[in-house]
Amino acid sequence: MKKNVVLQEIIDFYLQSKDFNGLPIYQMNNYDKEELLNLIDNDLIEAISEKEVLNPHIRGFNLDIPKDIQKNNASDLESHTCFYPTEKALEGVKIDYKSPYTILMQKGREQFDIIFFDIEILERYINNPKFLIMDNGYRGSICIRDEYYDDEDDSEYIKDYGMAYIEGEKLTRAVAIFLIDLAKLSPKIQMLWKAFELKNQNRCKVNSGFIKNLIYGEWVIDYWIFHAIIDEMIIINKQCESMEIPPLFSHTYGTHFFEMPEGYRNIFLPTMKNYYDFVLVLEKMFVHNISVKTFQKDGFLIKGIERKDSKGYDKGSLVMLSEWLNRNIKTSINIDEIIINPLKSIRKIRQVPAHELTSNKYDIDVYKKQNDLVIETYRAIRGIRLLFSNHPKANKIEIPEWLVTGENIVCY
């Protein structure tokens, strides 16, 4: 049997398979032990078995398996071994120059190689209602909504993107994608992504949760601060129910991507317009969403307050919240400083574009501004929950340990 027949079968299977898979040993038409050993010795194929990885059908990484182990794999017909052509073996294959990321797979790159892109590429999707962005802070997905899907169109599906960062003095976000996900895009869309590929890839680093979750299959123990705030709101309303007063928040939300308010996420492109749009979302969630009915009803150890001020005008929700908390809660902490002022800050920032003509501009400091604002908002909402926990009718509400300790709550 000629050596090139065995090698060609492995190459053909790799290139023609849907996900650039390895040829299983039990599926080979031209199995020849001696030829396989020679191919391994000459660095033309790689033999990966279930002894090295959970799924030998994909070559996710450069495993650098010693040749003697590869030879044992190739000799054991009972093992679950798959054969892959090396970059050396693929040097002469015909490649598709219209698909830059498919090319890399055709040349033998590993599936889980990560490519970094300018975060601006995500604006194409977040601002287009045809697309659904499933964002969880450290990772997310992109797909076309069902009503816009067309099999004949250049459909776009990014199974997983990771939040990444560019080295430097200031927080600068990027986006990370596995090579295999890019290779599955149409040629047209691959070229679009190629235009946003960052030149200095070695200055980029993807969030550790992305690697832990998708590469090692580990649970991510960090909690996104955006989710923490939502969970605090839910608990606060449960506390209100226990205290037999109306809920503090007219609406609460879930932490699944389709339950969260639109725009309640990390800012991708750092522009002032995106920043002000985000502040508007916070105002609707945490200022306009406060129910003044909470403050008007008497309860056990709770005294309600009047809706009108001394001049007969309705008090604002934050004014009533401050008056009500200070009347009903005896504490050494400065309630206005910890709870009221951060919420007032949201309203104050929101008033800038509402009452002035502003110019949009690119500002990398927007990332830090957003993080600082979210952290202050979290502390304010958490502060309310902590104060309510002291009420004898509310202290039985079950609270997750991670919210009690406040540990591992992060901004991505």
Summarised one tens digit per residue, pLDDT across range 16-72 is 998 999 999 999 999 999 999 999 999 999 999 999 999 999 999 999 999 999 999
Range of weakest confidence among 239-253, 351-365, 367-381? 351-365
pLDDT at 159: 94
Per-residue confidence band for 361, with pLDDT thresholds at 50, 70 and 90: very high
| Calpha distance 400→12 (Å, rounded) | 53
Instruction: Check residues 84 and 2 and name the one with the higher pLDDT.
Output: 84
What mean pLDDT, rounded, does the chain reach? 94
Summarised one tens digit per residue, pLDDT across range 181-220 is 999 999 999 999 999 999 999 999 999 999 999 998 899 9
**Model confidence at 153: pLDDT above 60:** no
| % of the chain residues with pLDDT over 90 | 90
| % of the chain residues with pLDDT over 70 | 98
| Calpha distance 382→231 (Å, rounded) | 10
| Calpha distance 234→218 (Å, rounded) | 28
Mean pLDDT, range 226-230, rounded to an integer: 98
**Model confidence at 108: pLDDT above 80:** yes
**Model confidence at 152: pLDDT above 60:** no
pTM score: 0.91
Mean pLDDT, range 387-396, rounded to an integer: 94
The domain spans of the chain are: 3-85, 100-214, 224-410
pLDDT at 1: 43
In the chain, how long is the greatest CA-to-CA distance?
100
Q: 396-402, long-range: CB within 8 Å, 24+ apart, which pairs?
A: 396/242, 397/235, 397/238, 397/239, 397/242, 399/235, 400/231, 402/223, 402/228
Mean pLDDT, range 273-295, rounded to an integer: 97
**Model confidence at 353: pLDDT above 90:** no
Q: Which two tokens stand for residue 306?
A: 């009047």
pLDDT at 148: 85
Q: How many CB atoms lie within 10 A of CB 317?
A: 20
Q: Which residues touch 72 (CB under 8 Å, ≥6 apart)? A: none
**Model confidence at 3: pLDDT above 70:** no
**Model confidence at 332: pLDDT above 50:** yes
Q: Beta strand 23-24 with 81-85: parallel, antiparallel or unpaired?
A: antiparallel
**Model confidence at 252: pLDDT above 70:** yes
Instruction: Check residues 347 and 358 and name the one with the higher pLDDT.
Output: 347
